[in-house]
Structure 1
Amino acid sequence: MIVEWIRHTITPAPRPLRRMGVLHDLIAIDARRRRNRRAWTPHLRATHGVILDCAARLDRWDTVVVIGAGLAKDVPLMSLALLFRRVVLVDLMFMPSVRLSAMRMTAVELAPADVTGVLEAVRVLPPGAPLPEPRAAVPAIESADLVISCNTLSQLAHAPARWLAQHHHTDEATLEAFRRALIADHLRVLSEAPCPVCLITDTERQEMTAERPTAAEDLLHGVEPEVEGSAWWWRIAPKPEERLLHDVRHRVIGGWLKGYSASDDSPADLALGPATDPS
């Protein structure tokens, strides 16, 4: 905890991202990775393998765009920098280790961006105003030979939904529809990319007791990506990381994005939802 606090204090970050907990989240996930290095290794290896397999199947290697590279621990960055002339890393912000890697590798460039298009709008949202509509956009996607969305799809709504819950007391039904809309809109933009798309995402969370699931959660909130590739379990929180007697694992899928389906509300429907819970 002390080390995490020191990192949070000395790591440069835009003030709005600090206020919305983005830097805190990056440091926390990196600390968890360090604590559970052995449990995370199969997941990281599988992620690297999917990315490199997709890259090897291309017939042109000029530009690759990687979404969700703020830590870049699950991205085979050196291999991509050797294979592609240009490697564009996209995230809200980048930790110092990633910035240092970008300085050392001439092929790597950083593109800080909010791919949901709603984070700032949520931060300055007046009480009672309609929730902002998703405006997904990915830097450099027009010139890409490969787009990789890496372990970020289920996390897109985390910061804005948390802000709405804490500062606007938005009801859970509205937040659920908002999360679903952001996820669906991200997949829409990916599916419209002018190049192949590699999608890696966790889809389900399970609490395990004695190697048996005792609770489950849909991490994509009813949105179902169609991916041609592989699936595996990620032991994200072996006991006692979160629970004294329970392990937590996530189901992960990775491969070529073929399409997606979304239940209930479409992204456009979310403009009707107020930010403040009327109750």
Structure 2
Amino acid sequence: MILEALEYLTTPCPKWVRDMGYLREAIAIRHRARRCHADWAQHQTNTKDAILSTARAYGHLPDITILGAGLCLDIPVQDLSPLTDRLTLVDAVRLRGVRLPQNARYLCQDIEGSATALYAGKAPPDRPLVDFQGPGLLVSVNLLSQLPLIPTRWSDDPLLGQRILQRHVQSLRDHTGPTLLIADALRWTLESKGAVLSQEDIAQTAGLPPPEHSWRWPIIPAHEAGHGPRVETEVGVWRL
């Protein structure tokens, strides 16, 4: 906890990122990833393989954009670099320690637009991912289910979360170049003995068909959950 608090105090970021909780979430994910390294390893490998095989299928690309880059734990940054003229990584906040090749850049911004609008006291926009249009590969990585979490805490609109999910998927479909979506399809909350407490069908809410392939990811395994509930997801892959 001391290391997390120190990182929180010393990480530079815009005020909205700190005030809305994005910085705190990013730091918490970093430390959970360390504690759950063995549990997350296969998921990270599967994600990297899906991104890399898709990129290689298109030969050399003018650009590759990764939405939800985070700490790049599940992004094959070094392997993608020679496949493109420019590699762009995007997330709300960049923590220290993320190293990039020479042709890569990291953009810190509100990908979907709702967070900054709500922080400014405005209605969330209904806009596509216009900042990322182009002929290159656009990849959304383990981001979809995370997009509504903080904005819905700042809004009384009961349909905001669903709209954010559906808008993100539609924006990916509207992209002029090739598109890859890697996202939670289903999420289960489980008691310690394995009984299902709740299930969320994220893919259905977002308007997605069944994924091309999928795998299980123990986001909060038993040793991390302690006496609390475990969380597992089915992660799916779609080429939209």
Q: What TM-score does the superposition give when structure 1 sets the normalisation length?
A: 0.79
Counterpart-to-counterpart distance in 1, 2:16 and 2:189: 33
> In 2, are the aligned partners of 1:11 and 1:96 still within 8 Å (CA)?
yes
Do structure 1's residue 8 and structure 2's residue 4 form an aligned pair?
no
> In 2, are the aligned partners of 1:4 and 1:27 still within 8 Å (CA)?
yes
1:242 to 210, 216, 225: 225
Letter in 2 for 1:38: A
C-alpha distance after superposition, 1:215-245 (max 9, x if no partner):
3123457223236531010011111423526
> In 2, are the aligned partners of 1:154 and 1:220 still within 8 Å (CA)?
no
Instruction: State the match for 2:160 in structure 1.
Output: 178
| Aligned-pair CA distance for 1:29 | 1.0
Counterpart-to-counterpart distance in 1, 2:130 and 2:76: 20
1:204 to 186, 192, 196: 186
Instruction: State the match for 1:189 in structure 2.
Output: 171
Letter in 2 for 1:139: D
- The DSSP-based 3-state class of the residue aligned with 2:111 is coil
Do structure 1's residue 158 and structure 2's residue 149 form an aligned pair?
yes
> In 1, are the aligned partners of 2:169 and 2:206 still within 8 Å (CA)?
no
C-alpha distance after superposition, 1:97-137 (max 9, x if no partner):
22xx23xx1110122222212222101217xxxx4333232
1:121 to 117, 130, 135: 117
Change (3 A) 1:138 1:69: farther
2:239 to 256, 271, 274: 256
| Aligned-pair CA distance for 1:246 | 4.4
Letter in 2 for 1:136: P
1:65-76 residue pairs with structure 2 within 5 A?
65-76=65-76
How much identity, in percent, do the aligned residues show? Answer: 28
> In 2, are the aligned partners of 1:206 and 1:214 still within 8 Å (CA)?
yes
Counterpart-to-counterpart distance in 1, 2:89 and 2:150: 20
Change (3 A) 1:207 1:160: closer
Counterpart-to-counterpart distance in 1, 2:51 and 2:222: 29
1:215 to 192, 198, 210: 198
Letter in 2 for 1:226: P
Please provide the CA RMSD for this pair. Answer: 2.0
Counterpart-to-counterpart distance in 2, 1:219 and 1:87: 28
Counterpart-to-counterpart distance in 2, 1:73 and 1:148: 15
| Aligned-pair CA distance for 1:184 | 0.9
| Aligned-pair CA distance for 1:70 | 2.5
Letter in 2 for 1:149: S
2:213 to 220, 230, 240: 230
* Aligned length, in residue pairs: 239
Letter in 2 for 1:95: L
Instruction: State the match for 1:147 in structure 2.
Output: 138
Letter in 2 for 1:115: I
1:82-161 residue pairs with structure 2 within 5 A?
82-98=82-98, 101-102=99-100, 105-125=101-121, 131-144=123-136, 146-161=137-152
Change (3 A) 1:156 1:220: farther
Counterpart-to-counterpart distance in 2, 1:210 and 1:25: 27
| Aligned-pair CA distance for 1:71 | 1.6
Counterpart-to-counterpart distance in 1, 2:127 and 2:63: 23
List runs of 5+ in structure 2 lacking aligned partners: none
Give the number of the structure whose alpha-carbon radius of gyration is greater.
1
- The DSSP-based 3-state class of the residue aligned with 1:236 is strand
